[in-house]
């Protein structure tokens, strides 16, 4: 699925969530943003035998991945009574580059120029409850809950000389803890932070977001901030330590 089709698919999912929820939600927020993603770290995939240090590919020095901007979409719905609030977010993420190295990836041995791609698209759905808003007269919101993240990881390497390709795909669903904090000293301005995290054994996945949001008129908001993800996995013969971070801008509506 290309970037445009993915983006429109996410908008459709947001509409499917937002429109029914708007009929009985206490609050609704939907936004579209642009995140400049800068990658670092390494990855290896050797399904048979023992990988050598040379099989670990550095995203920058070996694969020459550079910063890339991608759109993202999100929607939050605050529901009444004892129902948990909902938070959906779709984050496309992909990189590609040309390198030159001798290594093993999959069951293929590569030597010389290669072209590689790494996709780590992910989709979040959090169920959370909000605290402190009543006792602070709606100036502070503390969100606590659980987040399910579906990851679409796809890595491939192609020899420029021979056309030989090796690839690996993973589509895990990762449970994470979700924590959010919004501080609104005045109605038109807020400072926000979000964290999604899990650590199991030697693997972990941390996702942090900081946001400054302004509402210039009516329900419309504009925002800017910084997002950082830290991923370390060792599963199904894939070992990866990847960090992606950078600034973002966003616009949307909040009722």
Which pLDDT score, from 0 to 100, does residue 134 have? 84
- Return the closest-CA partner of residue 215 out of 239, 243, 187, 185: 187
Residue ranges making up the domain that contains 217: 3-254
Which pLDDT score, from 0 to 100, does residue 1 have? 46
Angstrom distance (rounded) from CA 251 to CA 155: 31
Q: If DSSP codes are grouped into helix, strand and coil, which group holds residue 81?
A: coil
> In total, how many domains does the chain have?
1
Eight-state DSSP code of residue 152: E
Please give the model's pTM, rounded to 2 decimal places: 0.87
85 neighbors 129 (Cβ within 8 angstroms): yes
CATH number of the domain enclosing 153: 2.40.128
Q: What are the pLDDT tens digits along the chain (255 aa)?
A: 455 555 555 555 555 555 554 445 578 899 999 999 999 999 999 987 777 888 999 999 999 999 999 999 999 998 887 889 999 999 999 999 999 999 999 989 999 999 999 999 999 999 999 999 889 988 999 999 999 999 999 999 999 999 999 999 999 999 999 999 999 999 899 999 999 999 998 899 999 999 999 999 999 999 999 999 999 999 899 999 999 999 999 999 998
Angstrom distance (rounded) from CA 225 to CA 250: 9
Which pLDDT score, from 0 to 100, does residue 65 have? 97
Element spanning 32, H or E: strand 27-45
């Amino acid at each position: 699925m290309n970037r445009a089709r993915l983006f429109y698919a996410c908008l459709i999912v947001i509409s499917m969530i937002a429109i029914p929820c708007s009929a009985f939600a206490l609050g609704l927020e939907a936004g579209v943003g642009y995140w400049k993603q800068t990658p670092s770290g390494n990855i290896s995939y050797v399904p048979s035998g023992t990988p050598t240090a040379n099989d670990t590919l550095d995203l920058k020095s070996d694969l020459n991945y550079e910063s890339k901007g991608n759109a993202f979409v999100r929607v939050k719905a605050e529901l009444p009574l004892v129902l948990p609030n909902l938070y959906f977010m779709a984050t496309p993420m992909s990189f590609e580059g040309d390198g030159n190295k001798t290594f093993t990836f999959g069951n293929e041995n590569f030597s010389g120029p290669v072209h590689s791609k790494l996709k780590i698209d992910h989709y979040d759905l959090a169920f959370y409850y909000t605290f402190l808003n009543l006792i602070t007269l709606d100036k502070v919101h503390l969100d606590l809950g659980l987040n399910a993240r579906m990851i679409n990881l796809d890595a491939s390497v192609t020899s420029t000389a021979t056309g030989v390709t090796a690839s690996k795909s993973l589509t895990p669903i990762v449970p994470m803890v979700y924590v959010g904090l919004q501080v609104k000293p005045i109605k038109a301005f807020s400072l926000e932070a979000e964290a999604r995290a899990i650590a199991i054994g030697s693997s972990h996945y941390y996702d942090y977001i900081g946001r400054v949001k302004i509402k210039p008129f009516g329900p419309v908001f504009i925002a800017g901030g910084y997002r950082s993800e830290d991923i370390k996995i060792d599963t199904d013969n894939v070992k990866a330590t990847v960090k992606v971070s950078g600034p973002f801008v966003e616009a949307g509506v909040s009722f």
